[in-house]
Amino acid sequence: MAYRYIFMLACCLICSFAAAQLDSLEFYAHRGINNANYFAEDTYLSRGAAEKRVEGSLFLEAQWQEARILTPQNEVVAARARYRIYDEEMQVLGANNEVLALYPAKVRAVAIGRQVFVPLEYQDKQGGATTGFFQLLVEGEASLLLRREMELVHGDYNPALNIGDRNDHFEARETYYYRYQKGKLQLLRLNKKAVLDALGRRKKAVAEYARASNLGFRKQEEIVALFQFYNRS
Neighbours of 178 (CB within 10 A): 22
- Provide the pLDDT for residue 144: 98
- Provide the pLDDT for residue 51: 58
| Domain assignment of residue 32, given as a range | 2-39
Q: For residue 213, count CB atoms less than 10 angstroms from its CB and return exposed for 0-12, middle for 13-18, buried for 19 or more.
A: exposed
Give first-to-last CA distance, the chain, whole Å: 115
Concatenated DSSP letters of 81-134? EEEEGGGTEEEEE-TTS-EEE--GGG-SEEEETTEEEEEEEEE-TTS-EEEEEE
Q: Is the residue at 109 inside a domain? A: no
- Residues above pLDDT 90, as percent of the chain: 51
Q: pLDDT tens across 17-31, in order?
A: 334 333 333 333 333
14 pLDDT band, cuts 50/70/90, is: very low
User: What CA–CA distance (Å, rounded) separates 159 from 163?
Assistant: 7
- Provide the pLDDT for residue 9: 38
Distance of CA 92 to the CA centre of its chain: 22
Q: Is the residue at 44 inside a domain? A: no
Count of domains forming the chain: 1
Q: How far is CA 44 from CA 4, 36, 50, 119, 164, in A?
A: 46, 10, 11, 51, 17
- Provide the pLDDT for residue 84: 92
In this prediction, residues 181-205 reach a mean pLDDT of: 94
In this prediction, residues 6-22 reach a mean pLDDT of: 39
DSSP letter assigned to residue 184:
-
Q: For residue 117, count CB atoms less than 10 angstroms from its CB and return exposed for 0-12, middle for 13-18, buried for 19 or more.
A: buried
Q: Is the residue at 33 inside a domain? A: yes
H or E segment and range at residue 173: strand 168-180
Q: Of 15-24, 90-99, 177-186, 216-225, where does the model show the most confidence?
A: 216-225
pLDDT at 108 over 70: yes
User: What CA–CA distance (Å, rounded) separates 60 from 88?
Assistant: 10
Instruction: Provide the phi-psi class of 115: left if phi over 0, else alpha when psi is between -120 and 50, else beta.
Output: beta
Instruction: Provide the phi-psi class of 140: left if phi over 0, else alpha when psi is between -120 and 50, else beta.
Output: left
Q: pLDDT tens across 37-90, in order?
A: 333 333 333 344 455 566 778 889 999 999 999 999 999 999 999 999 988 899
User: What CA–CA distance (Å, rounded) separates 136 from 115?
Assistant: 8
187 pLDDT band, cuts 50/70/90, is: very high
Q: Is the residue at 23 inside a domain? A: yes
Residue predicted with more confidence, 131 or 57: 131
Residue predicted with more confidence, 92 or 233: 92
Q: Is the residue at 110 inside a domain? A: no
- Provide the pLDDT for residue 95: 87
Q: Is the residue at 165 inside a domain? A: no
- Provide the pLDDT for residue 162: 72
User: What CA–CA distance (Å, rounded) separates 174 from 150?
Assistant: 9
pLDDT at 110 over 70: yes
In this prediction, residues 152-162 reach a mean pLDDT of: 74
Single-letter amino acid, residue 230: Y
Q: Is the residue at 87 inside a domain? A: no
Q: Is the residue at 11 inside a domain? A: yes
